[in-house]
Amino acid sequence: MDRDQALLELALSDEPTPVLVAHARRLSDGQDAPFGLKVEDVLTRTLTRRAAYEDARRSEQRLVEAQRISQVGSYDFEIATNTNLWSDQLFRIYGREPQSFMASYEVFLGMLHPDDVEHVTSVHQRSLATLEPYEMEERVVWPDGQVRTLASWGEIVVGEDGNPARMVGICWDITERKQMEAQLVHEALHDRLTGLPNRVLFVDRLAQSVTSQNRNLGAPAVLFLDVDRFKVVNDSLGHDAGDEILVELAGRLAELMRPGDTVGRFGGDEFVVLCQGIQHPAEAMHVAERLIEGVSGPVSVTGADVVLSVSVGIAISSSQDDAPADLLRDADAAMYRAKRDGRARCVLFADTMRDEALARLETEVELRRAMTDGQLRLHYQPVVDLGSRQVVGFEALLRWEHPTRGLVLPGEIIDIAEETGLIVPIGEWVLHEACEQLARWHQVQPELTMAVNLSGVQLGRIELVRRVAAVVDATGIDPPLLSLEITESVLMGDAEEALGMLLDLKALGVRISIDDFGTGYSSLSYLKRFPVDVLKIDRSFVDGLGTDADDLAIVQAILALAGALGIDTIAEGIETEAQRDVLQSLGCRHAQGFLLGRPAAAADTRLGAIVPGPR
């Protein structure tokens, strides 16, 4: 090899620049370089070429590194040769080793999720036809089967002939972002506690079902479910236990669903079911009865078994014009009727229920106003000693002095008050007002007693004992002179829970009275365990005294039972002298009734009044 050629090859070599300069000077040995160039010229040009090359290589490395860091890959598809040049990062995005093969368009399509191939090719074809840029999302399947979601943007490069020559673009992985978006959408449409569809999603599905209903295929029906006595359980066992119960109930409902039906949670203890293709109301009733039966049964929480039951209201769509809100409202109204009829049952909506629901809503609003406007009153019915014919106590009875309806009795408002929770503040007001009145009366008759009725809702609240203790302390009354009355059905609704609450109340020194005794389903073994001081014989048994042998036998049995257990008795509903005389002959000590004294305001009540004896 001669000197000139050696210099040329050296200039074109990949030798590092300092080595190249040293070699070039040694080869030239002070002579001119080939083609009449001096060695310095050769070196200058060589260094310029090498610097540009090294800059380009560094730029390419920086681009590769930038794509890796930003996780954005690039591609350059040459249409004529069907060659697809991918960056290293694009290989990684597709789950492959960088530059491990030469990609073609068919290879690219083969990596896509089968369901996305048609969409991707149509986007590319449209862009080739219009020469407009494109952007889209597609899914790619990695060799290990993992599916990733990608976003891509590209444009068409036109050749000198004006036709598409290349398709170039970038691509990046958006799988995590899509998963987060899906999670956010799921959370927005599902109840966080139970995972069931929430109100938004349920109403949307109901709307679709209503508008697409077909007379031949049946109509959609809404079942509105409410857990019976859930507030009592929630207040007594705590919200965590209540949440456990709701989760268990949601699971039971989901297992009972027919294919195509939807169960959702509206909040609190309210669940809704969308039943598709209901051909006849009896079919919806059958579904509801199956749900009631399927969810019933005990749930173990905090070491105690809680028995679940639900009341169900049913509304069936009759037209594609039905509004979902109206169907839900009607099903809700029917559910409240089911609760009033005894709970753990289903009721089909009737038009009359809508008027009742509106009236109940109006009553609720007015009752709230009555509390703040001072419209509530207490009337007091005397309790009489049948032997001495003297008033020995009173029962405090709630009255609502309505501005237009006059005096409203408890039967018209207690259910609404219990359903809305208003019974709690109303009950506290009754207790405090009655005890204050008793304290005033004690200045005249120190041994006078006062009976105050407790709702099942109040009995289930853990703060009841503290509230009773506070009222007794504030009014200064002697605790044994205060009697708290609970109906037999409320007492037996959850016997173990009631037992614990009554024991706590009894520890305060107050007396416990069972109202309407004999009308429920008491177990005598439970009655023996309860700290009961008084049994009130229900008026339904008193009515027949003197004429009905069965009523006489029942009253005799109750009196014998109470005597054996050391429990006092009060007979209710005495309206005739014959009833009074029979009770006295049977050994009943105390009684109430219109014959002995009607309920009256405190100002109209006489203390120590002697009731006239037999003529």
Q: Which position has the higher pLDDT, 459 or 127?
A: 127
CATH class of 190-349: alpha beta
The CATH superfamily of 362-604 is: EAL domain (3.20.20.450)
Q: Which of 327, 314, 319 is nearest to 223 (CA)?
A: 314
Contact 532, 514 (CB under 8 A): yes
Handedness of CA 291, 293, 299, 305 (dihedral sign): positive
Domain regions of the chain by residue span? 3-67, 71-179, 190-349, 362-604
Average pLDDT over residues 443-453: 93
3-class state of residue 545 by DSSP: coil
Q: What is the pLDDT of residues 63-76, one digit of tens each?
A: 455 555 557 998 99
According to the per-residue pLDDT averaged within each range, which of 77-91, 298-312, 353-367 is highest? 77-91
CATH topology assigned to domain 71-179: Beta-Lactamase (3.30.450)
Contact 442, 474 (CB under 8 A): no
pLDDT > 60? residue 521: no
Q: What is the pLDDT of residues 382-394, one digit of tens each?
A: 999 998 889 999 9
- 600-607 long-range contacts, Cβ below 8 Å, gap at least 24? 600/379, 600/380, 600/381, 601/377, 601/378, 601/379, 601/380, 602/378, 602/380, 602/437, 605/380, 605/382, 605/394, 606/391, 607/391, 607/441, 607/444, 607/445, 607/448
Tell me the C-alpha distance between 312 and 387, whole Å.
50
pTM confidence score: 0.57
Q: How confident is the model at residue 165 (pLDDT cuts 50, 70, 90)?
A: very high
Contact 164, 214 (CB under 8 A): no
| Of 166-170, 325-329, 415-419, the least confident | 415-419
pLDDT > 50? residue 33: no
Q: What is the pLDDT of residue 456?
A: 81
> DSSP secondary-structure letter at 479?
G
Average pLDDT over residues 418-447: 92
